[in-house]
Structure formats: structure tokens, C-alpha cells
């Protein structure tokens, strides 16, 4: 299934539309109940944001790639990409295609891309996007969704190629630049993001355990041991393939959003076990029995009220995203 079809299918129903918009960080301002969500960027310098979540895969001007003037951050195709600061869209390139190495707004830069001008002659570049969600001349604010991570241009897997210049064509190491502002490239939650962590092989603990329960709830065979090993990676890939998502075995925002389902009192099964596991990690003391009864409902309400959410005991996309 192409991603266009996947997106259209996800947009089919209002509930799914809300889920997707929340996954895209578009919840802020459209009234889907994000009031009271924690502000993960509070520790970072005001005015700058992490452009995306993911794993750093290639660095700035490395010995093997001396002309690579940015950092690569990999995650699932469709992972939200955000403006790193307030600015204006200087130019964009769209309708690029894999293997296109001949053109682009910057020499040698390919794929669907966005270029932003910022105050004080700062300039940022976002390459290989799956989709561009802004237009030339548009004003954007720090943390605003500008595109979706993709694999367009000269790229071997979905990732964001990210550069910072001052002025244009004078690049600086964007990882160090952001680190100096309290932001860990790829790891600090971007302003406005859903807060879903990117989880991949090597992780262990309650988050992989929750993922394993959610996978089982979707009919994927996996042992629930809290260890994100090769078998868990294979299970994630099976799930991603079954949903038409890019099968990279990494649980990023899009995969999280596809894994979760709304839960309420009366539900039962592995999805509820995943919920109970997460609630216990957040301070509850529940028996992980897969039964969403009044005790679990009370734990949900307690979690919701402690986090400024509507304490309705219903676990929708917003509650899930704060919980994980
Ligand atoms: Zn790159």
C-alpha cells in the first residue's frame, strides 16, 4: 500500500483523523484536548526546537563524508518534521523522486526539501522529506509541523537530513549548535510533538513490554519479556507491513499511533495489559490481568488528573501519548 493510500485511509473517519493529526503534532490549536500536556522543551533554550525524533545515523563532515554538511536522523517514514525556529519558508522542492541527484534548491541537495530563513541570518534545511506541508513565503513558528520524514532523493532509507547555516551556504554542525541550546538532536522532544518516544532494538523495560502487549493485541506473535531484541524487531516489522507502513522495525510516532486503540471500562485483552503496564510505570499498582474494570478506570482517572487531562477514564490518543 502506498503512503498516500495509507494517509487517505487514516483520514477516513473523524476518530482516525484526530489520531493522525495528534500523531502529526497538529493537536495544538484545534481543540483535541492537549491542554495540560507537559512541555518537553522547557529545558531547552527558548526559540529553538528539535526538528524531529529519531536515531542519528550520519554526522557532520565525517572523515568518510567530508562534504556532508548536516546530520541525518532516521525514523519511520511519515515521522513529523518541525521548524527548528521561527522563520519564513525561503524555498521548497517537491515531487522529487528516489535517485534524483541532479537538482535541488541547494547544489547537490536532493529530494523533497524545505529551506527556512530565520532571524539573525540563520538558515535551516530539511531534506529527503516524504511530503512538504508548507509553501514558499509562509511564516512558520518554532516547532510547527513543516513536513513528513521520507526517503526521496539520494537516500537509502527514511531519514531527515538537517543543516543549519549562518549565513546561507556557511554551514555549522547542527548537533553542536542545538546541544549549545539544550537540545539533543533526535532525542529531545520537539516543541509541539506528541511525546511518543522512538524505540528500537536494544531497549528494555516497561516501554518495550507495552509494545509487546500492543503487538499481541494486533495478532502479532511475540514473547512479552520487556526486551526489544531481534524477535521483537521482526514482530514490529510484521506489524508495520500489515499496516502498509515502512517496515524498519523501529517504533516511532506513526507506528505508535497505529498500535494504540482507544480503551475504556469493559475492554479486555492484551491491549488492556499494555495499558496496565504503562499505568504501573506511571505510579499505579495494578494487577496486569487484561481486564479494564473499575480499579483500572480509577488509575486512568488519577493519571489524567495528575497530568492536566480530562479525567474521564477513557484512554484516547492524547492520554496514550502522555502515558507512553
Ligand atoms: Zn544527510
Question: How many Cβ atoms are within 10 Å of 67's Cβ, its own excluded?
Answer: 6
Q: How far is the CA of 5 from the centre of ligand 1 (A)?
A: 28
* pLDDT at position 317: 75
Sign of torsion over alpha carbons 195, 245, 223, 263: positive
For residues 324 and 321, give the distance between their C-alpha atoms in angstroms, rounded to a whole number. Answer: 6
User: For residue 41, what is the DSSP state?
Assistant: G
* H or E segment and range at residue 153: none
* pLDDT at position 236: 97
Q: How far is the CA of 124 from the centre of ligand 1 (A)?
A: 13
* pLDDT at position 194: 56
Those residues of the chain that have pLDDT short of 70 are 1-46, 97-110, 192-195, 308
* H or E segment and range at residue 110: none
Q: How far is the CA of 16 from the centre of ligand 1 (A)?
A: 33
For residues 90 and 69, give the distance between their C-alpha atoms in angstroms, rounded to a whole number. Answer: 19
- 307 touches 38 (CB < 8 A): yes
Q: How far is the CA of 170 from the centre of ligand 1 (A)?
A: 16
Q: How far is the CA of 253 from the centre of ligand 1 (A)?
A: 21
For residues 231 and 22, give the distance between their C-alpha atoms in angstroms, rounded to a whole number. Answer: 29
Closest CA to 247 of 158, 147, 139, 168: 158
* pLDDT at position 193: 59
Q: How far is the CA of 167 from the centre of ligand 1 (A)?
A: 19
Distances (CA, A) of 126 to 16, 84, 90, 154, 206: 28, 10, 12, 14, 33
Tens digits of residue pLDDT in 123-171: 999 999 988 888 999 999 888 888 888 888 888 888 999 999 998 888 9
- Domain 49-179: CATH class, spelled out: mainly beta
* pLDDT at position 44: 54
For residues 195 and 120, give the distance between their C-alpha atoms in angstroms, rounded to a whole number. Answer: 30
Q: How far is the CA of 107 from the centre of ligand 1 (A)?
A: 14
Q: How far is the CA of 25 from the centre of ligand 1 (A)?
A: 24
Q: How far is the CA of 70 from the centre of ligand 1 (A)?
A: 6
Segments making up each domain of the chain, as ranges: 3-26+197-323, 49-179
Closest CA to 186 of 23, 39, 74: 74
Give the angle 197-203-208 at the CA atoms, nearest 5°.
70
Q: With respect to CATH, is domain 3-26+197-323 assigned 1.10.101.10?
A: yes
Whose grid coordinates read 511564516? 139
User: For residue 34, what is the DSSP state?
Assistant: -
Q: How far is the CA of 65 from the centre of ligand 1 (A)?
A: 10
Q: How far is the CA of 120 from the centre of ligand 1 (A)?
A: 25
Amino acid at each position: 500500500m502506498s503512503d498516500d493510500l495509507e494517509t487517505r485511509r487514516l483520514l477516513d473517519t473523524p476518530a482516525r483523523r484526530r489520531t493522525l493529526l495528534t500523531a502529526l503534532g497538529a493537536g495544538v490549536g484545534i481543540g483535541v484536548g492537549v491542554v495540560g500536556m507537559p512541555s518537553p522543551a522547557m529545558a531547552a533554550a527558548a526559540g529553538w526546537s528539535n526538528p524531529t525524533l529519531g536515531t542519528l545515523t550520519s554526522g557532520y563532515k565525517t572523515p568518510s563524508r567530508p562534504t556532508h554538511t548536516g546530520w541525518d536522523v532516521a525514523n519511520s517514514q511519515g515521522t513529523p518534521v518541525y521548524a527548528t525556529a521561527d522563520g519564513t519558508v525561503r524555498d521548497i522542492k517537491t515531487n522529487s523522486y528516489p535517485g534524483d541527484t541532479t537538482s535541488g534548491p541547494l547544489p547537490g541537495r536532493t529530494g523533497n526539501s524545505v529551506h527556512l530563513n530565520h532571524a539573525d541570518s540563520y538558515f535551516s534545511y530539511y531534506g529527503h522529506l516524504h511530503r512538504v506541508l508548507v509553501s514558499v513565503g509562509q511564516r512558520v513558528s518554532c516547532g510547527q509541523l513543516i513536513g513528513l520524514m521520507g526517503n526521496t532523493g539520494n537516500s537509502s532509507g527514511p531519514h531527515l537530513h538537517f543543516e543549519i547555516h549562518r549565513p546561507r551556504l556557511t554551514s555549522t554542525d547542527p548537533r553542536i549548535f542545538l546541544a549549545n541550546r539544550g537540545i539533543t538532536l533526535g532525542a529531545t522532544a520537539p516543541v509541539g510533538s506528541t511525546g511518543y518516544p522512538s524505540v528500537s532494538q536494544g531497549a528494555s523495560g516497561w516501554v518495550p513490554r507495552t509494545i509487546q502487549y500492543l503487538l499481541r493485541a494486533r495478532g502479532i506473535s511475540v514473547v512479552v519479556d520487556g526486551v526489544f531484541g531481534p524477535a521483537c524487531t521482526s514482530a514490529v516489522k510484521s506489524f508495520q507491513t500489515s499496516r502498509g507502513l515502512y517496515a524498519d522495525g523501529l517504533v516511532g510516532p506513526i507506528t505508535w499511533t497505529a498500535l494504540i486503540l482507544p480503551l475504556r471500562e469493559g475492554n479486555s485483552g492484551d491491549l488492556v495489559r499494555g495499558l496496565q503496564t504503562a499505568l504501573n510505570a506511571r505510579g499505579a499498582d495494578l494487577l496486569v490481568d487484561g481486564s479494564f474494570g473499575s480499579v483500572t478506570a480509577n488509575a486512568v482517572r488519577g493519571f489524567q488528573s495528575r497530568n492536566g487531562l480530562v479525567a474521564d477514564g477513557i484512554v484516547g490518543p492524547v492520554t496514550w501519548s502522555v502515558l507512553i
